[in-house]
Structure 1
Amino acid sequence: MSETLENCPSEDMRALFSKYGFKLKAVGHSGGRSYHSSAEGQVHLNVRTALAGSELHEPYGLAFHEFGHMVDWLAGDGAMYASAKSGIVKAIDADWAKYKAKVADKLVSAHLANLSTRDLRKEMRRMGNELSDPAMKEAAQKARHRVIHGEASFAEIMEDRAFGEAFDRFYEAAKAGRWDVSKEEIERGVWERVRAEAEGKSLSQIGSLSDVLQGASGECSPLGAGHEPDYFKCEDWREKRATEFFAEMCDALATNPKSYRELSRMFPTAVKEFEELIGRLAK
């Protein structure tokens, strides 16, 4: 494990484990699950899977995961995990919301592209009524009048500031499920994209990502790995989500660059928050 740590590309990660290494305690066993017990102040480790690796973890990955929990606890002065006092969960949620918004943009854009000019104006008028947005309704009516009377093309109307502002509000409402694209369709589209991006990748590559996605979305083991269904549905859910991300990142940074890239791809802000946190804790 010390050799793996020495080869870790993160200087802060190496410094953090060196700082708390002498406080790490473990009880080894040959079967069962591995876990960190804050009450006992030690890690219970399945030595065989921790050293040799598994379908989910690279060699030593499980050890870095569980000792990552313990380092997180020790760095929090034994009262609360240090990660729980950071902005990690907020960053995860922001990254997940941004990812879903991109999918919504594509779905709504695809629907808009298939609408005729007439149908688009009709939908804008309808939504203007529904949202009590008279400016949206008026913009659609004026657009209809100008096109009918040959005063402007639809492309020219789209460049009109008043119409453009009304269209933007229509677009945002459409993404929120107030139009033909429902929230359920967007949710399905999100998971179709998530699973398409994971297709062909090993569980060791996407397992940590799957666990973080479970905490963010509520979907149990969405990519084939995670915790039991109710793990994040508890009073200390925020602390659990934070420390699980911390542990997954310790595993990825020390042993699994492919997993690190997957986490960075979908949760770039949260990864940056983690890296800034371990930089502070390592001092």
Structure 2
Amino acid sequence: MPPEHPVIHPVFEPNTGTWQYVVADPSTSEAVIIDPVLDYDASTRTVSTHTANNLLTLIHSHSYTVNRILKTHAHADHLSAAAYLQSKLGAAQAHRNHRPPLICIGWRIGIVQTLFGQRYGVPADERAESAFDTLIDDDEQFVVGRALRVTALHLPGHTPDHLGYMFGGSHVFCGDSLFHPDIGSARRDFPGGSARDLYASARRLLALPAAVRIWPGHDYPPPPPPREPVSWATVADHRRENRHLRDGISEEEFVTMRGERDAGLCAPRLLHQALQMNIRAGRLPRPTPGFGDRLLHLPMRLGPGVGEW
């Protein structure tokens, strides 16, 4: 197997439609995790780790050593399991004289932390850039294992801090920039989002060689009939079939379509919980003094005719 050809384990989390990935260098069994999910039941307000534990089982079964947990951006639709996995893998890997994995994200995360930290009243020390171990620059390169080269691609539009990760020149993990061709593209109506930036990011991806595989952050199989979740499509597939971004669709057409489409979308179900956890790199809020409760803030809305009192 060529040294720059990774082993890729796509793991689908159906409750949030999220693709998580474990990507490994086969020559050394060193690996990274991309966008892991922490389970959250909104009805009971319970955090659990079933999905993350399945990733741990996969990692242990292949005897992987995980050196990085890569975040594409601060997700608004699921909670991050990055800090939990760092803790568990750090303990397991210490027995083999390996350090805990580093939690990594693009350097623009500070913009997002400041905005949502202030909105939700997250203490400054819990939303500091130091919540992440490594802030990645645009086009920065690093190596997994012996020779698996990774390049960080700034792909703004969905969010301003958004990164993709290219492995070995033939695989790109694009987060929420592109979805499966029959779905198209992600929304651009979060703070700092931009349809024009999203279009430019997609064109950057679709200018890659035709055989490059693009691995998205989500899949939402459309009915009818529902298909199985699909973890990748090639650049050629997207240029031919992507319903929002195939060849021939202009920037103005895309911007108009996204504006109309996003205007009718509801907010993600776990928006408030996800953002407050994810700007902390998946770390739990500090317990309240004397009670031990870990609190997340939820905005209150006033119904029609309800004024202030």
TM tier, smaller: under 0.3
- Structure with higher Rg: it is 1
Higher share in helix: 1
Q: TM-score, normalised to structure 2's length?
A: 0.23
- Greater relative contact order (CA < 8 Å, ≥ 6 in sequence): 1
Q: TM-score, normalised to structure 1's length?
A: 0.24
